[in-house]
Amino acid sequence: MILAIDTSAGTSAAVFDGANRLSFINFDDRFGHAENIGLAIQAVLKEARIVPADLTLVAIGRGPAPYTGLRVGIAAGIAMATALNIQACGVITLNAVARKHPVGKILVVADAKRKELFIAGFQDGEQVISPSVSNLQDLENHLGFQQVSGECDASLIGEYAVFAVDQKLDLTDTSALYLRSPDVTPSAGKRVTG
Amino acid sequence: MEIRELTAADLPALMQLENALFGSEAWKETPFRSELEGKFTYYFGAFDGGLIGYAGLHSVPASFTSDIQTLAIATAHQGHGLGRTLAKKLIAKAFALGAETVFLEVRVDNQTAINLYASLGFEQIDIRKNYYQPSGTDAMVMKLVLDQPIVLGVESSCDETGIGIVKGNRLLANALHSSMDEHAKFGGVVPEVAARAHLEALQPTIAQALKEANLTMSQIDAIAVANGPGLAGALMVGIGAAKALAIAHNLPIYAVNHLVGHVGADVLENGTVSLPTIALLVSGGHTSLLLVRDLLDDVELLGETIDDAAGEAFDKVARVLGLPYPGGPQIDRLAETGNPKAIRFPRGLSLPKDMEAHRFDFSFSGLKTAVARHVEKASDGGLEISKPDVAASFREAVVDVLLTKAINACELHGVKRLLLGGGVVANARLRQVAKIRCGEADIQLRIPRFSLCTDNGAMIASIGAQSIMAGRPASGIGFGAESTLEVTKVQTL
C-alpha cells in the first residue's frame, strides 16, 4: 500500500494498492500547504479505508517547484515513513508528468517563479534533457519539442512510484530538487557614516 | 454545590468540620493553617450553604510524587459521591503538577474510604502500625500510579531543528541540529538556508531523540509543534513533519507558541514555573519581556524590540569589529579584557519621553549605528581603537538596558521573579549582572540550563505536555504557520 504526497503546486495526496489508485485529493490553494497537508493525508487514508499501519511505502514529490510549499510535503513524507518505519521514495515531478506522454519529443515545463522555468526533455519516454532551470528565451533552443505543462500532483507521483517499484528504479533520494541556490549573497558590509 | 480552592480565610469553617468529624484525632488549628498557607499544598472545599467537605494534596515540584493529606465529608453529606468528586479533583491536580505516583494513608477500619480509593486505582503497599493516635489504629498506605503523557515536540522556527521528548515534567530527550555554520558567511540567519537545513535535519534528529529517550514512535502519546512566531518557511517544515507524525500513530497534536515554550522550558529544570513571573526572552530573533501569570492561560506581552533583536545587534556589531558570526560569543570573549565604561553608548528607549509609549520596549538599531560611527570615525582619523573597550562598552549597554527594563517590570507589577530564556542567555555578562541586580532588588532569578534556553524541541514538548496535563483539547489538524503569532495565543486550536 503506497501513500503518495505532493506539494509542488497545490497540496495533494493519494493511496495506491499495487497499480490501482484507491483515493486522491487535491487542495488547490497554492499557499496553504502547511494547513492542508494533514487534512489531505487523513482524507485519502479514510477514503481508501486503510490505517497508516497498512502502508508499506511513502512516495514523495521532490519537485522542482516553489520550495516553501514543496518542503511541507517532503517533510510530511519523511516523517510519515520514519514514524511507521517504512521506506520512502522520492519522485522528480517532471519525470512523473512525462510518464503521461510516452511518445514523441516532450519538454515538460513548470513555473519556477522569478520569470524562470523548470524544464526536462523526453524522447519516447527516455530523458534527453535533465531537469534544469530555464527562461523563456532558452525555450527556443528546444524547438523540436512539444511543450507540456509540468503541473504535478500526488496521483502522478504515485503512478510513477508504482512504475519505479516494478522497474526496480532507485528512488531512495527524497531530498528537495532545488536546482537553484538560495537567493542570497554575502554583503560586504556598509558604512553608516558618509 | 461549588468546589473551590481553600485559603486561610476558610480555616474557621474547616476546623469546625474537622473537629466534628474526628474529635480527639482532629488536626489542630496551627498545623492546619500551615497546610492551607503552604507553598506546595493544594486544598479544595465543597460548599453547599457552608463547607460540607474538603480535601488536600501535597506536591513538591520535581519530586514527581504527590500525597493526599486528608479527605473529609460532613456526616450529613456522606454517601452521595462527594468523596469521589473531591478525590478525583486531587488526582487531577496531582496529574497536572506532574506527579507520577500519588500516596495516601487511610485508617484500616475505614472500609468505605479504602473501597473508594481502590476503585480509583489505588493499591495497598504497606501498613503502618499504631499510626492514628490516641486510638492506635493502623494506617494502610496506598499508592496510585499516574501515566504522565509522553510528548514529542518539534521546533523549527529559526535555525535550530529541535526534537524533544518529555514525559509529563520529565525531560527524556533533547536532540538538536543547528544550521548556524551555514549562515556564518552571510552574517545572519538566511530564511531559505534555514528551511533547507530543517528538511535535511528532520529524519536524523527525530531518530536521535527517540534513541536518547530509548523509545519508539509507537510509545509516544502526543505531538507538539511550534507554529509561531518565527520564519514562516522554516516553521512550515516542522508543521508538515509534526502532522505526519501525529497521523501515523493517530496521536493528538498541539500547536504551541514558540515564545511561551521558552518559559515552559523551566518546568523541565525546576518541576514547575514559579508564577507569576516576568520572563525576559533574548535571542537572535526575539527580545521580549513577558508577564506570565499562568503558563497556558495568561501570558502578557509587556514589550519587545521595535527593530533589531539583541542577538542580532551582537552579530552586527561583531561584523563592524571584523569578528565572525555568531557575534555573541566573539564579543563576550573580546569584552573580557575591555573597559565597559570606556565609551558611553546609548541605551535605546530609556529616556523619560520613551516611558509612556515604550516603557518595556527595546531598540538596538541606534546602538549598533553608534558603535559603527565610533569605529568608522576612528578609522577615518587614522586612530587606533581598543576593540576590547568597544566590545565591553557595547555589551554593557545591551545588558544594562535589558536588565533595567526587566527589573523595572518586576517592580512595577510587584512580581519578584525573573526568568531568562533565549540564546543570548549564553552571554556571561548578562548572567552576571542579572544575578547582581536581582540580588539587590530581592528578585528570584531563574536561568534554565543553556540547552533549554536556546531554541529546542523539549520546551515545545513541555508546553504540549502541560496542556494535556491540564486537560486541554488538542489542536485541529488544519493549523498553519503564523510568523507573527502573538504571545497571548499559547495554543492554536
pLDDT digits (tens, 9 = 90+) for B57-109: 999 999 999 999 999 999 999 999 999 999 999 999 999 999 999 999 999 99
What residues are paired with B53 via a beta bridge?
Answer: B46, B73
- This prediction has a pTM of 0.96
In chain A, residues with a C-beta closer than 8 Å to the C-beta of B196 are 67, 71, 176, 178, 182
On whether the CB atoms of residues B273 and B267 are closer than 8 A, the answer is yes
| Contact (CB<8Å) B481/A34 | yes
What is the rounded distance in angstroms from the CA atom of residue B123 to the CA atom of residue B453?
A: 40
What percent of chain B has pLDDT above 90? 96
Report pLDDT for A185: 81
**Overall average pLDDT of the B260-268 stretch:** 96
**Cβ-based neighbour number of residue A100 at 10 Å:** 12
* Closest chain B residue by Cα to residue A86: B248
- Show residues of chain B in contact with A68, CB under 8 Å: 195, 232-233, 236
Given a contact cutoff of 8 angstroms between Cβ atoms, the answer to whether A192 and B372 are in contact is: yes
Beta bridge partners of A21: A16
Confirm if A96 and A159 have CB atoms less than 8 A apart: yes
Res. A123 pLDDT band, cuts 50 70 90: very high
Count the Cβ atoms, other than its own, within 10 Å of residue B30: 8
Q: Give the closest-approach CA distance of B425 to chain A in angstroms.
A: 27
With contacts defined as CB-CB under 8 Å, which chain B residues touch A176? 196, 199
**Nearest 5°: phi and psi at A106?**
-120, 135
- Averaged over B323-338, what is the pLDDT? 94
Decide if pLDDT at B252 tops 80: yes
The reported pLDDT for the residue numbered A128 is 96
Contact B202 A75 (CB under 8 A): yes
Find the range with the poorest average confidence among B14-18, B24-28, B121-125, B239-243.
Answer: B24-28
pLDDT digits (tens, 9 = 90+) for B339-367: 999 999 999 999 999 999 999 999 999 99
* Span B464-489, pLDDT tens digits: 999 999 999 999 999 999 999 999 99
pLDDT at B161 (0 to 100): 98
User: B24 falls in which pLDDT band (50, 70, 90)?
Assistant: confident
- Report chain A residues whose CB lies below 8 A from the CB of B247: 38, 41-42, 45, 52, 80
Cβ <8 Å between B199 and A37: no
Residue B405 pLDDT greater than 80, yes or no: yes
Locate the chain A residue with the closest alpha carbon to B371. Answer: A192
pLDDT score recorded for residue A191: 82
Please tell me the predicted confidence (pLDDT) of residue A192. Answer: 81
Q: What is the pLDDT of residues A19-50, one digit of tens each?
A: 899 999 999 999 999 999 999 999 999 999 99
Chain B: give the shortest CA distance to residue A130, in Å: 22
Contacts of A7 in chain B (CB under 8 A): 240
A118: Cβ–Cβ under 8 A, 6 or more apart, which residues?
A63, A64, A65, A94, A109, A110, A111, A112, A131, A132, A133, A134, A150, A179
Residue with cell 494506617: B139
Residue B31 confidence (pLDDT) above 80: yes
pLDDT confidence of residue B80: 93
∠B407-B412-B416 over CA atoms, to 5°? 55
Is the CB of A192 less than 8 angstroms away from the CB of B376?
yes
Residue A105: its H or E element: strand A105-111
Rounded (10°) angle between helices B310-320 and B365-380 = 10
Contacts across the A-B interface (CB distance below 8 Å): 142
- Average pLDDT of chain A is 95
Mean pLDDT of B195-199: 97
Q: What is the mean pLDDT of residues A131-137?
A: 93
Give the containing element (helix H, strand E) for A40: helix A33-47
The verdict on a CB contact (< 8 Å) between A184 and B376 is no
A interface with B, Cβ–Cβ < 8 A, is 7, 32-39, 41-42, 45, 51-52, 67-69, 71-80, 82-85, 175-176, 178, 182-184, 186-187, 189, 191-193
> Smallest Cβ distance to A83: which of B237, B245, B319?
B245
Looking at residue B73, its pLDDT comes to 96
Q: What is the mean pLDDT of residues B378-405?
A: 95
- CA dist A167 and B249 (Å) reads 31
Q: How close A163 gets to chain B, by Cα (Å)?
A: 25
Residue A189 has pLDDT above 90, yes or no: no
Asked if residue B263 has pLDDT above 90, the reply is yes
Neighbours of A149 (CB within 10 A): 11
For helices B387-412 and B365-380, the axis angle rounded to 10 degrees is 160
H or E segment to which residue A57 belongs: strand A57-61
Asked if B164 and B222 touch (Cβ cutoff 8 Å), the reply is: no
Distances (CA, A) of A35 to B16, B47, B242: 58, 46, 12
CB contact under 8 A, B250 and A68: no
Indicate yes or no: CB of A78 within 8 angstroms of CB of B241. yes
> B196 and A176 in contact by Cβ < 8 A?
yes
Distances (CA, A) of A37 to A9, A93, A114, B231, B476: 12, 18, 25, 19, 12
Dump pLDDT digits (tens) for B277-311. 999 999 999 999 999 999 999 999 999 999 999 99
- The per-residue DSSP string of A120-188 comes to EEEETTEEEEEEEEE-TGGGGGGTTSEEEE----HHHHHHHHHHHHHHT------S----S--S-----
**Separation CA B493–CA B478 (nearest Å):** 9
Local confidence band at A187 (pLDDT 50, 70, 90 cut-offs): confident
Q: Which is more confidently placed, B45 or A189?
A: B45
Q: To the nearest whole number, what is the mean pLDDT of chain B?
A: 96
**Chain B nearest C-alpha distance from A160 (Å):** 22
Asked whether the ipTM of the predicted complex exceeds the cut of 0.85, the reply is yes
pLDDT higher than 90, residue A183: no
What pLDDT is attached to residue A154? 98
Q: Give just the sign of the alpha carbon dihedral A126, A131, A134, A136.
A: positive
List own/partner pairs for B83-88 with CB under 8 A and 24 or more apart.
B83/B53, B83/B112, B83/B113, B83/B116, B84/B116, B84/B119, B84/B120, B85/B3, B85/B46, B86/B3, B86/B44, B86/B46, B86/B53, B86/B54, B86/B55, B87/B55, B87/B116, B87/B117, B87/B120, B88/B120
In the sheet where A11-17 sits, what is the strand order? A20-27, A11-17, A2-6, A57-61, A87-91
pLDDT confidence tier of residue B133, bands split at 50, 70 and 90: confident
Strand, helix or coil for residue A31: coil
Q: Are strands B41-48 and B2-5 parallel, antiparallel or unpaired?
A: antiparallel
